[in-house]
Amino acid sequence: MNKGSMDKETEAAYTALAENMGRITAQCQKLVNEFSQQSVELQKPAESDPFNLGNTFAALGKAMLADPERLIQAQMSLMNQYADLWQKMLNKWGTPEKAGAQSSPDKKGDRRFKDAAWEENPLFDHLKQAYLLTAEHLEKTVAETSGLEEKEARKAAFYTKQFVDALSPSNFLLTNPEALNETINSKGENLLRGLRNVLDDLKAGAGQLKIRQTDTKAFTVGVNIATTPGKVVFRNELMELIQYAPLTETVFRRPLLIIPPWINKFYILDLEPKNSFIRWAVSKGYTVFVISWVNPDAGLAEKTFADYMHEGIFAALDAITLATGEREVTTVGYCIGGTLLAATLAYMAARDDHRIKAATMLVAQVDFSEPGELAVFIDEEQINALDAKMSEKGYLESSSMSTTFNLLRANDLIWSFVVNNYLLGKEPYPFNLLYWNQDSTRMPRAMHVFYLREMYLNNQLVKPGGIVFDDVPIDLSTIKVPIYLQSAREDHISPYASVFKGKHHFRGPVRFIIAGSGHIAGVINPPAARKYHYLVNEKQPDNLDEWLAGADEHPGSWWSDWHRWLYRKSGKKVPARQPGSGPLKPLEDAPGSYVKMK
């Protein structure tokens, strides 16, 4: 090939590249315009708006238009950044030594762009950089818009992020280099497999797309997850009570009752032997009882929060006394199970009932003034819409709860699987935690509406008498039992600052700690894994900033710290108790029947 033809080919390549870059930049500008138009369109009345987005984006649009100069400046700044990015990318292609530093927020740790082509191929590099610039612009513009109420601002920011995350170039075949390469190499077989995965997920979701996060055929509850030996020793229509077989010759006198959340199934605490909190507690000499909540149907639609107290905790306490002969117990409440435990302790204090001698609350909120990211889904309009929806069947579909939690981490829990399952045509990797995450449960209408409105929305639990069960005013300040209050540094569902506020409402001694990681991994962190850390301030001041300033960091799991705290409150050692050795005879092997209900 002669020099002349090479020059023509190079010129043609530059021309094509410039045209493609122009199209990309124009598309990004179109994205900005579409988002602005969406804000205007959502101001129009809609027949159905369950998330109450219309009012939020109407307020956002009004607030933006109230300061047009700032909006114009933001647009001009974005266009200048586009021009700068374009020039640098052209330099990188033609004369790399002139390229200079990237002008866009190149997020090196962003797993959406882990494929090498996002950096090595100038076209895909530009596409990524242009998208990141656009995403940053949209999120920053919304965040800096003044004149919105705090709840409106939080919701606008959340759904803006959902919007830009959904339109990432990594989510589409023609703009994902890994998917394109797979399509070429497999001659389109990946797309055929992806189509089959889509059809399977539509079938599994009864017409709605239920994206698989793991290989659901790889796990069976009671076979390779939830396998700690034990027996179901009691059952009512709301729960089964499991007593676990001892692993030690002697046990602490006071049994340990664990109250898991009913928003998911209990076996997050018993995934497999190496990370089972239940098995670990049994190995430390505790006689462990765990409530396994039923997956409610229409027949339980009117079950209330107080019913979960009576038919859950109180029924379990009575059964434990029959099974072991012991009236005094210690307890653990996880997430909403901890919220229920706190309300129950206040109820018991009013009734002069002192059976619970120590309480552990895992990532559990009682003060909902800073409720975390779930707050975007909770306002009066959304609760009313949800109540109307639940009234049709008497419960909230499990898919609705699953979607809500997945939206909180959409890139990890939605879009990564769209790419893997549909664009690449791969099967999701077997992962027991994600199997549990997809094994979601329904919510009874009466209980769920009460919980959302009276606790999340109105924060009534921390107001003495704000909540009343059976004519008993609930007052958290009457709780005098020792409390271990565990939180997690990266928890987006129960932020540690929110959990910390519980300290201000209990009268008894409180040991507050902050574990590493988030709402799940911050709890399920066995000592043998040697992962993360936890923070403790032995002085336990009531001011969070002071607490953090004086906290010591300890490597590894908080479980050992909890055991050192709890065993002193658990009584002397007695011979180990076998499930069924007392008046309560086994009904079936753990993990029971309720946990397997779909």
Which active-site residues does the annotation give? Answer: 335
Residue 204: CA count within 13 A, CB half-sphere: 17
Report the C-alpha gap between 408 and 403 in whole angstroms: 9
Q: Are 231 and 443 in contact (CB under 8 A)?
A: no
Q: Write out the two tokens for 216.
A: 């659901």
Alpha helix segments (H runs only) across 249-377: 277-283, 305-307, 315-324, 336-350
The secondary element (H helix, E strand) that includes residue 18 is helix 3-41
Residue 1: CA count within 13 A, CB half-sphere: 7
Q: Write out the two tokens for 150.
A: 């705090």
Burial 395-426 (b: 16+ CB within 10 A, else e): bbbbbbbbbebbbbeebebbbbbbbbbbbbbb
Contacts of 27 by beta carbon, 8 Å cutoff, 6+ apart: none
- CA distances 464 to 303, 460, 478, 505, Å, are 24, 8, 9, 10
Taking the CB of residue 47, how many other CB atoms lie within 10 A of it?
Answer: 4
Report the C-alpha gap between 323 and 584 in whole angstroms: 5
Report the C-alpha gap between 320 and 256 in whole angstroms: 9
Q: What angle do CA 471, 473, 475 make, to 5 degrees?
A: 160
Report the C-alpha gap between 331 and 566 in whole angstroms: 10
Q: Are 338 and 434 in contact (CB under 8 A)?
A: no
Handedness of CA 579, 584, 585, 586 (dihedral sign): negative
Q: Please, which residues bridge with residue 251 across strands?
A: 574
C-alpha of 507 from chain center: 30
User: Residue 65 is which amino acid?
Assistant: L
R_g (Cα) of the chain, nearest Å: 27
Q: Write out the two tokens for 569.
A: 């409150």
Q: What angle do CA 587, 592, 596 make, to 5 degrees?
A: 145
Tell me which residue has tokens 């242009």. 130
Fill in the DSSP letter of residue 524: S
Q: By C-alpha distance, which of 413, 408, 418, 419 is closest to 118?
A: 419
Tell me which residue has tokens 């969406």. 38
Report the C-alpha gap between 42 and 376 in whole angstroms: 17
Q: What angle do CA 484, 485, 487 make, to 5 degrees?
A: 140
Contacts of 128 by beta carbon, 8 Å cutoff, 6+ apart: 106, 113, 118, 169
